[in-house]
Structure 1
Amino acid sequence: MSFSAPAPSDDEVNAARLDPARLQAVCDTGLLDTPAEESFDRLTRLATRLLEVPATFVSLVDAGRDFYKSTIGFGEPLASARQLQGRTFCHYALLSQGPLLLDDVCALPGFADVPTVQTLGVRAYAGVPLVTPEGLVLGSFCAVDMQPRHWTARDVEVLTELAHATLREITLRQALTQLAETNRLLAEEMHKVGVLNERLSELAHTDALTGLNNRRAYDQQLAREWRRVQRNGAPLSVLLVDADHFKAVNDQHGHAVGDHVLRVLAGVLQESAREIDVAARVGGEEFAVLLADTDATSAAGVAERIRSQIAQAEAMPVAGVTVSIGVATLLAEERPDSLQHRADQALYMAKSQGRNRVVSAR
């Protein structure tokens, strides 16, 4: 629209400028107070060349200012501040249904006192509104001249195409921002899922009472260690540890005390195990310790230390708690189930020989 009539009233301009839906749309662009970007500057540079004007800019009309996402041809302070407060020609573009063309602002009532006429020396203005698909005007793609100028149909066509390109750039930027936010949220959720899976895996492999590995975890570790031994030939030993007369402890002192006893036993086993070893609760009062890189002699020594520490454990809630331990070391070409069976037989022998002792399998 080319103005020859007086400028719209301040009330009309303010109503359009302060429309809540429009202001929200401007905010949603994510462009306010952002640095200059080449994707927008490329368009304003092109407009300057094609229209042969001294200055072009992309304006977003906020509540109390115009923010210039791109400015080409303006000197300081606008080039650095990239915003203007007070009335501007872009405010009138909010009311136009198409391009706003002002051939000579000084000859039009109400336009000559727009501050940029004095501060920047603007005499001619052309602006194409940046309109969202919802019909909300974000601002304008603008060109100015410092002398009167008749804006031609070609000028309008150039500005309109560049305004459309600016809108596409804004839409693309919003989509990329939303995608980045979606990816961030997805990464957060994936981290939460990972933590949850780790916790579930821990629960699935941990004995709730003692905090040691459970039978499932022990069997998996035994199979893993057995495969490693097949590759490198290192020794592997197993201890089966059983609390002596544990039923009597429960019967005489109650299950709470019995649970306390089991936790103390587990603590001794955990302290005795190296990082490469695996301590587990594999039954009611039965425990196992998988000793990697440990031969029969060393395994028997570890078992004896465990037996002695438990017999002397000051943390025991009742006196006289002892354990019997069966020891087995993997033989050549032996399978895990056979190793476990021999350790169990050795434990049975320790029990039958009077308990509170260590027996090594043959």
Structure 2
Amino acid sequence: MDLARREARLRELGLGDMPDAQFDAFATQLAQAAGAPYAMVNFITGHQFFAGLHTPSPGQSGQSGPDAGPEVSRIMSRDHGYCPDVLNRRKALVLPDVYAYPRFASNEVVDLIGIRTYAGAPLIDERTDTVLGTVCFVGTDPRGKETGRDTLQLIKESRDELMRLIYQRTGGGPR
């Protein structure tokens, strides 16, 4: 079972349901590179856990108080968002405008935090061929389809960089 293998491998690597300052910094760098308000390092077990999380501060959005945008928790149901699709597909997914894809437009996060764009890639452990989770960024404004290739390249490069970081930290890299 993939879930049991993923949970076991995350435990072996010392990863999982703990916020991580290094992953938060990674998410912030990704959000800046993507020009997106949100970015996550997401380990998926019975739920999604954002070990790395970047959200806009009230000053970033130019708003404060109740209109500053919704607060994003580090825990999200496996039914929400697009990362579970990336996990199952084992391939990167880029949605320049989620409204253009009926299958994805009705996802609860569209209304919850106003997601209009998404890019995510699976974090595949080369040693065990286990998908540990995803790295992703989301935006609240649609992007043109012409940005798709650049976005795909950015999310794949980010995935590769993050896996190198994980292997450096844990010594659990490819054989």
TM-score (norm 1): 0.40
Contact 2:96 2:148 survives alignment (8 Å): no
- What is aligned with 2:77? 85
CA distance in structure 2 between the partners assigned to 1:86 and 1:163 by the alignment:
20
Say whether residues 1:108 and 2:101 are aligned partners: yes
Question: What is the root-mean-square deviation in Å for CA atoms of aligned residues?
Answer: 2.2
* Residue correspondence of structure 1 range 158-173 to structure 2 within 5 A: 158-173=154-169
Answering whether residue 149 of structure 2 is matched by residue 153 of structure 1, we say yes
In structure 1, the gaps of 5 or more residues are 1-14, 177-362
Q: Which amino acid aligns with 2:29?
A: L
* 2:104 partner SS: coil
User: Is 1:30 aligned with 2:18?
Assistant: no
For residues 83 and 97 of structure 1, the distance between their equivalents in structure 2, rounded to whole angstroms, comes to: 21
Q: Is the 8 A contact 2:94 2:151 kept in 1?
A: no
Equivalent residue in structure 2 for 1:52, among 35, 41, 45: 35
Picking from 114, 136, 141, the partner of 1:142 is 136
CA-to-aligned-CA distance 1:224-276 (integer Å, 9 cap, x gap): xxxxxxxxxxxxxxxxxxxxxxxxxxxxxxxxxxxxxxxxxxxxxxxxxxxxx
Alignment check: 8 A CA contact 1:26 1:61 kept: no
After superposition, the Cα gap between the structure-2 partners of 1:110 and 1:156, relative to the gap in structure 1 and judged at 3 Å, is: closer
In the TM superposition, residue 128 of structure 1 has moved relative to its aligned partner by 1.0
Say whether residues 1:118 and 2:111 are aligned partners: yes
Deviations 1:158-192 (A, max 9, x none): 2212211211222222239xxxxxxxxxxxxxxxx
Residue type at the aligned position of 1:166: L
Give the distance between the partners of 1:67 and 1:129, measured in 2 at CA.
14
Number of residue equivalences: 156
- Give the 3-state SS of the residue equivalent to 1:147 in structure 2: coil
Q: How far 1:98 sits from its partner (Å)?
A: 2.5
Percent identical? 26
Gaps in structure 2 of 5+ consecutive residues: 57-68
Q: CA deviation at 1:76?
A: 5.6
How has the CA–CA distance of structure 1 residues 116 and 29 changed in structure 2, closer, same or farther, with 3 Å as cutoff?
Answer: farther
Partner of 2:51: 69
**CA shift in 2, pair 1:76/1:173, >3 Å:** farther
1:188-221, Cα deviation, whole Å (9 max, x unpaired):
xxxxxxxxxxxxxxxxxxxxxxxxxxxxxxxxxx
CA distance in 2 between partners of 1:171 and 1:99 (Å): 20
Matched, 1:42 2:25: yes
Summarize the Cα distance change of 1:67–1:155 in structure 2 as closer, same or farther, 3 Å threshold: same
Distance between the aligned counterparts of 1:28 and 1:116, measured in 2? 31
Contact persistence 1:40–1:169 (CA under 8 A): no
**TM-score when scaled to structure 2?**
0.77
CA–CA distance in structure 2, aligned partners of residues 163 and 111 of structure 1: 22
Q: Report if the CA contact (8 A) 1:142-1:159 is conserved.
A: yes
Secondary structure at 2:102 match in 1: coil
